[in-house]
Structures are given as C-alpha cells and as structure tokens.
Structure 1
Amino acid sequence: MGSPYPTPITPDNTRIGWVGIGVMGGAMAARLLSAGYSVTIYARSPSKAHPLLSQGARLADSPASVARLCDIVFIMLGHPSDVRQIVLTRTDSILTGLKPNSVLVDHTSSHPELAKEISASARENNCWAVDAPVSGGDVGARTGNMAIFAGGDRAVVSWLLPLLHILGNRVTYMGGPGSGHSCKIANAIVAGGSFVGLSEGLVFARWAGLNREQWLEAVRGGPAGSRLMELFGQRIIDGDFKPGGFAEYMVKDLGMGVQTVEGAKDREVVVMPGAALSKELFTGLVANGEGKIGGHAIITVIERINGN
C-alpha cells in the first residue's frame, strides 16, 4: 500500500493531534509546536494543558474531536488499557473520529497484539496505524535525542519521517504492526537489567569505600559504560529520582515481555530469568508506593535489601 497522502508533510499542510501530555508526551508535543506545526491536544486533566496552550496548542474536548480536526494523531499514554480505551472502546474514541487516510501514531509502550488489533481496525476505516514507542527518557523527549522503533506499513512510516525526526534522532523501521512494541519490550529488558547492574555497582562501590563519582567517571568510558549510565548515573548518586519514565512502566514493559513469551502458542517459548528477576525488583519499588518516581530509583530496593 502507498502512503496516505501524495504530498510531503509540512507545517503548512499537516494538522497534528496529540493525546497524552504527561512527562514524555508533553515534551514531544512541544517539539512539534516549536517546529511550526499546528497541534490540537486532548488531556484527561485539562489543567495539565496550560504549558502547551501557552505555546500555541489548541484544546479539544474529546479524543474523537482531536481526530476529526487533524491529519495525524499521536498518542503517548501510560498503559495498554489506556490505549485500548482512548483508541477503540470509548464512545468518543480516536477511531470514531479519524477521517479516511488519516494516521494514528502510538508512542506508548504497549502490547504488540493490541497494535495489530488497532492497525486492522484502522484499515477497516480506511485509516492507518503505526506503533512507534520511544526510548530516551524525559531528557531525550525534550531534546529530540531519542530512539523510535516503528512498526506498521513501511510506506506510511517513511511518509511520517519528517515528524518522527523532530521527535527522535534515530528512527528504525522494525516491520509490520506490533513490531515497534516488540522492539521496545526487548529494549526494556536490556534497560531493566542495566538499571539493576548500575545500582548494584554503585552500592558495591560505596561499600568498598570508593568515591562514587570517581567510580562513575572511571568506568563510563569502558565496556561497562552506557547511555543509561550517562543519563542516570549522577542522578542516582544525587538521589534525584524525578521520573524520566515511571518505575511502574518498567514493571509494565518487563511484564509484557515475560507474559508474552510465557503465553506464546505459535512459537518456541523463550526463558528470560534476568527479565523476570528485574521485574520482581521493580515490582518491589512499586509495592513500596514509589511507582510514580523514576525507574532509576531501583537502587533504593537494592539498598533496602542490604539493610540501608
């Protein structure tokens, strides 16, 4: 299938909708506003819309209204259940308002099977759906330094690139519907293990009497260094656990990975003991009432295990 429009995307001919303006979504929508695009937003809590409204966004009264007013609708929500409701099941859902040839782009970290369902429903309505979760945290959302993993029709993803490149500096087409979400789940498995490893390294460094800033500087340039260490290492040392992504989302993403392979009926089951252990540790963070702080706060679980 070809792209939905024969003309390229520009601020003059493309109206953007955005649903979900939290830590990540709000920063991403602001980047499109700064690039000159007309952006209409919907927020379940309208008070949270004020920063974007002050930058020129318009506020709609429902997801369907956003879809009726726009050519491309982006969503960035918390959980697959939120996506299902906003896109499919509400009486004023996005799909009830999408016009023929319009496009839905889901940046939520959601379930691959739900993405396939949404894509099929969109095509039945002569629309398109792309699953395009992101990795880069709050800093990446503000600066556009994010990886975007795109699943859906290749031609549609290619047509969207002018917008996706505003939001992220690395856009990778992963395959058909659901492939973007599968990529993000695999990314979360790596990130979860890396958070645990970084946290245990810092706990051990302090136990051994090392200066933790000096330890971080010593290892960051070697094989143990990572983008995650660059983004969160000093924040962990400083006890700055403001969320780049909520800890509860790590439980969600790791849980989707573990549950997907355990429930697979059409392929060989993969055993992932590390992902399962990471999920349990992040679940401990959430159980302690800290699901809304950053996932890098997992160090507090390691410290509590050690009596600190």
Structure 2
Amino acid sequence: MRFSLIVPTLGRTDEVRALLLSLTRQAVRSFEIIIVDQNEDSRLDPVIAEFAGHLTILHLRSAVRLCNHARNLGARHATGDIITFPDDDCEYTPDVLMQVDQFFRNDPGIGFLTGSVILPGGIPGRSGRWLKHDSDIDTQTVWTCLIEFNLFIRRTIFDAVGGFDETLGPGTRFGSGEGQDLALRMLSHGKSGHYIHRLRIIHPDKPVALNVSRAFPYGLGMGRVMRKNRCDLPTVARFLLRPIGGALVNFAKFDFPIARYYVMTFFGRLAGYRAPSPAGAAP
C-alpha cells in the first residue's frame, strides 16, 4: 500500500461523503482510508457503506474526542508507506496523490511534504499565510507553509518521532500548532521537508465569527509550540508583533471583528509561550 489517509471525524456526514467521493477520482489507486469516528452514534455507517465497493476503508471508533489522539490511533493501523491526515471537510483534486507519489519517488531523501489550500470552486484561499513559491521547510518557513490536512510523511519517520503531541490541537487548551510541532521534531531528527505551492487541497474558509472565537486557543497553541521547540527569540518576536500590526491596521479601517481577532491572537501567543508545560507533554 502506498498511502494511508487518516481522517478523524466528529459531527459531519455530508462533508465526509464529499471527501470520499473526491478520493474515488484519484489518479493513484494504491491507498487506504482510515476513518477514526469520534461520534457517539452510527451516522457514518451508511456513508461508509456507500463507498465500500469503491474504496479501501477501515472504520475505527474512538471514545476520546481529541483530534491528535485520533490521528495517532489511525496511524497505528496504517499500512501505507506515506501517511497523511485530511480533515473531514476537505476534498482532494484528482492529481494530489499522484503529485506526492512522484515527488517522493524522485527524491528518496525527502521526509515530508506540505502544500497550500484552495477554496471550493478552485479559487485561492483568502489567507495570506501561504508562501507563493516552493520552498524547503526550516524553522522559519514552517510557520507559513504547513497545515495538518496537507501534510504527507513517510510512515517510518512519523513513528520514529512519536507522532502528534496529544496535548496540542483541537479538543485541548492549546488549540493549534501540532503540525508545526511535528515538523520541527522531524527537522531536529535530521529529516528534510519541502513545500510545494501547487500541491493544493480544497478546504472551506471558516466564518469570521468562528475564527475570532478560535483566535485565543489557536494563539495558545502556537506560543506553546515556539516555547516547547526552543524557537529563537527573533522568530518569537516576529510572530508576537505581527498580530499587533494587524490589529492596528484593522482598527484604523473600523473593521473591529478582524481587529479583535488579531488582539486575541496576540494574547493567545503570549500566554502560550509563557505557559508551563502541560502534564504528559511529549518530549
């Protein structure tokens, strides 16, 4: 098996169906899908049955509602050479796995790949975080060219570094940064990563109100990851100053919801950086 696609899911059915439908169109066919179902009911059973004759699907259930616990659980059942973690509201364009397969075959020394995001309908995402060109991943670029649902890793490397830190990410106090944390640990083990701008996965933008509500816990996660991985002080300062600038610009435009998003991001990053290590944190 070439690929293992590990999909943690909670509360969604139509989106999971759309993801599975997009996977039936992949040019590369050597892949398995491991759905880690955190629902208390059986809402996904008919969706999975709908695709059982077209896709190789392993349906796991987890009573633990933590995204990174689900990812690690799925990874323990993976048989593919390369593992990846699509969100349950993603869709794949038909050439995604083909691009990744070719890149890994052409460069046996590469440990992991990342890519960018497009919105449904094929238009670029409105986020300004993504680099506009291909790049090696290092301690500087990891913050602007990585997101978990577009991250492809050789399974042996994922296992070697211990997988995702389950004290980070959705469902925890530190609501984001688990992908950067994983990448930084892979880099510290001497593994190399690369960002391919044209490697795009479809993912919807979240409403402004939801983004504002997530700003503080997501900031906590980033601050925690910078401290945990001993990022240099210029990097820490840069990512503390950026939301201050964003807040000032949007206050000047009287765009108060976006300004509040930046303010909460700043306070979250600062608090995360100053926070003590949570109990059970990965080394």
TM-score, normalised to structure 1, is 0.33
Instruction: Give the structure with higher Rg (CA).
Output: 1
Considering fraction of residues, name the structure with more helix.
1
By relative contact order (CA 8 Å, sep 6+), the higher-ranking structure is 2
Instruction: State the TM-score, normalized to the length of structure 2.
Output: 0.35
The answer to which structure has the higher strand fraction is 2
